[in-house]
């Protein structure tokens, strides 16, 4: 039953008392047919959405949040978030995605929707309770897995260019296909994205990153011409250069495969962002040598330095989230280097020290970075990573290195030898830290203090 939730008769009664017609529209209806859970309910009213929301809130004895400048209101009831809006028709100016709004009918409101699958509505009127209003064949498009606009796509996308990114987002979330005429329209209108705020674009990109098929979404962004406008650093990974008959790996496809791999094992938004950006330093570090072929030496360091600029451009948070992604990009080759040689305790200690509590996320990223189509090669790398994981556990249990702080502080060194802050204090601290990480002494105060005295004597201090 499409309207089985007890909230709907309450809304219907309030609408009848207010002498307005109300309909459930959009995502809730779409997800009903897709048999997906949905806790967001949109109610469109042929009349005042705000007035109806206030009446429903009165019946439910719950507060209502009004957004008068947008003509909308929202209230929460149990696990539901219900938004009310008056039916409207819109017209746009070429330099703004903010519409000129007039009161309208349900049909006017459905015409302004982005896709036919989001223009479906259920009636809340007593005389045709639960009837589906589907003027554009939205159910048929749902059944066929298609995204199509109610109006000509040029009008839909030019009026509100954010809908182009939303088309890709829905395709990635639902596994749908954007119909050819609609996709061609996105390609024609991609330049219109310049009038949309980056915050709104990034909201959609987050949803693509977190979708079931993120690689599909980013490939559509690329093919549509939207990706270079949003993330040119990612577009720069495209293509293969050949010298003396030798080409390198196609880094864009590799990156998308890494994102797809990480999506299978983690719902961590920022780890998925790290997967997306882990190789952004490659274009700037690409070199060819006749003896060794193509290389990207230092792309981990260069890529990590690019992260703040990318985050700033995308209006992503410049806080610990950014630092986490930056750390993942900087360290993503370190576990790989460990599997290529015999794993020494000192190398593992340094990795644990540098990664801290993010070591598990780093290992997950590195395992996702294995994209070889040769099953034996891929399995060999995974087996080696399993050995590294075991070594991490053993060394951590023995030495407690993760997030450790050297037992000798700068203050203690200065107090002991009557020093002010200077290079010598830093040098003593660094040598003690390295001695612990190299396994020359234990992470122990007495051993560290004895080493401090030895170093100070060598330096002529004290």
Q: For 352-401, write each residue's pLDDT tens digit.
A: 888 888 999 999 999 999 887 778 877 887 888 888 888 888 777 766 66
Per the CB < 8 A criterion, the answer to whether 214 and 208 are in contact is: yes
State whether residue 134 is helix, strand or coil: coil
Clarify whether residues 271 and 395 are in a common domain: yes
CATH number assigned to the domain comprising residue 60: 3.30.460.10
**Is 89 a domain residue?**
yes
Domain end among 97, 114, 140? 140
**Is 236 a domain residue?**
no
**Is 235 a domain residue?**
no
> How many whole angstroms from its chain centre is CA 239?
24
CA dist., res. 268 & res. 361, Å (int)? 9
pTM: 0.84
Domain end among 358, 380, 399? 399
Q: Provide the pLDDT for residue 289.
A: 86
**Residues in the chain, pLDDT under 70:** 90-102, 339-343, 398-404, 462
DSSP alpha helices (H): ranges in 295-373? 299-314, 320-331, 334-340, 345-355, 359-368
Span 29-74, pLDDT tens digits? 999 999 999 999 999 999 999 999 999 999 999 999 999 888 899 9
Q: Provide the pLDDT for residue 128.
A: 94
**Is 239 a domain residue?**
no
Clarify whether residues 386 and 431 are in a common domain: no
**Is 245 a domain residue?**
no
Clarify whether residues 367 and 274 are in a common domain: yes
**Is 240 a domain residue?**
no
Q: Give the torsion through C-alpha atoms of 365, 370, 375, 381, to 10 deg.
A: -80
Clarify whether residues 271 and 289 are in a common domain: yes
CA dist., res. 353 & res. 361, Å (int)? 14
The parent domain of residue 339 ranges over 251-399
Clarify whether residues 339 and 376 are in a common domain: yes
Clarify whether residues 317 and 435 are in a common domain: no
Domain end among 166, 195, 230? 230
Clarify whether residues 136 and 152 are in a common domain: no
**Is 117 a domain residue?**
yes
Per the CB < 8 A criterion, the answer to whether 10 and 60 are in contact is: yes
Clarify whether residues 90 and 151 are in a common domain: no
| Domain count across the chain | 4
Per the CB < 8 A criterion, the answer to whether 286 and 243 are in contact is: no
Q: Provide the pLDDT for residue 93.
A: 58
Burial of residue 259 (CB within 10 Å: 0-12, 13-18, 19+) is buried
Clarify whether residues 25 and 97 are in a common domain: yes
CATH number assigned to the domain comprising residue 212: 1.10.110.30
Q: Provide the pLDDT for residue 91.
A: 57
CATH number assigned to the domain comprising residue 371: 1.10.3210
Q: Provide the pLDDT for residue 340.
A: 60
Clarify whether residues 320 and 290 are in a common domain: yes
**Is 237 a domain residue?**
no
CA dist., res. 247 & res. 254, Å (int)? 14
Q: Provide the pLDDT for residue 327.
A: 97
Clarify whether residues 106 and 152 are in a common domain: no
Clarify whether residues 110 and 18 are in a common domain: yes
Burial of residue 405 (CB within 10 Å: 0-12, 13-18, 19+) is exposed
């Amino acid at each position: 039953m499409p309207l089985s939730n007890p909230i709907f008769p309450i809304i219907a009664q309030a609408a009848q008392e207010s002498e307005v017609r109300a309909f459930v529209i959009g995502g809730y209806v779409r997800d009903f047919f897709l048999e997906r859970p949905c806790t967001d309910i949109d109610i469109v009213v042929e009349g005042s959405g705000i007035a109806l929301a206030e009446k429903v809130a009165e019946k439910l004895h719950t507060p209502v949040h009004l957004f008068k400048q947008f003509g909308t209101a929202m209230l929460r009831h149990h696990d539901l978030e219900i938004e009310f809006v008056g039916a409207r028709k819109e017209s746009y100016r070429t330099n703004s995605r903010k519409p000129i709004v007039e009161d309208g009918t349900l049909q006017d409101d459905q015409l302004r929707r982005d896709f036919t699958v989001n223009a479906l509505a259920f009636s809340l009127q007593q005389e045709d309770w639960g009837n589906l209003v589907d003027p554009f064949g939205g159910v048929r498009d749902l059944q066929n897995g298609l995204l199509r606009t109610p109006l000509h796509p040029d009008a839909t996308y030019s009026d509100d260019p954010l809908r182009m990114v939303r088309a890709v987002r829905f395709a990635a979330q639902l596994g749908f296909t954007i119909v050819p005429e609609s996709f061609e329209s996105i390609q024609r209108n991609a330049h219109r994205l310049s009038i949309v705020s980056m915050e709104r674009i990034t909201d959609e990109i987050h949803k693509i990153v977190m979708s079931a098929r993120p690689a599909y979404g980013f490939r559509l962004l690329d093919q549509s011409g939207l990706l270079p406008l949003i993330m040119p650093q990612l577009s720069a990974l495209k293509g293969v250069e050949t010298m003396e008959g030798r080409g390198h790996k196609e880094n864009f496809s590799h990156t998308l495969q890494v994102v797809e791999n990480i999506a299978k094992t983690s719902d961590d938004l920022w780890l998925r962002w790290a997967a997306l950006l882990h190789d952004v330093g490659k274009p700037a570090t690409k070199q060819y040598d006749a003896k060794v072929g193509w290389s990207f030496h230092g792309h981990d360091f260069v890529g990590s330095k690019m992260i703040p600029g990318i985050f700033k451009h995308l209006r992503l948070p410049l806080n610990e989230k950014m630092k986490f992604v930056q750390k993942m990009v900087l360290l993503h080759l370190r576990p790989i280097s460990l599997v290529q040689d015999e794993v020494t305790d000192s190398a593992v200690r340094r990795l644990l020290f540098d990664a801290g509590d993010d070591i598990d996320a780093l290992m997950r990223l590195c395992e996702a970075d294995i994209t070889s189509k040769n099953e034996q090669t891929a399995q060999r790398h995974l087996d080696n990573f399993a050995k590294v994981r075991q070594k991490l556990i053993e060394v951590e249990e023995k030495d407690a290195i993760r997030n450790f702080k050297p037992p000798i502080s700068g203050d203690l060194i200065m107090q002991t030898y009557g020093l002010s802050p200077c290079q010598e204090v830093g040098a003593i601290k660094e040598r003690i830290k390295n001695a612990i990480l190299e396994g020359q002494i234990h992470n122990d105060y007495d051993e560290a203090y004895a080493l401090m005295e030895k170093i100070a004597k060598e330096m002529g201090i004290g």
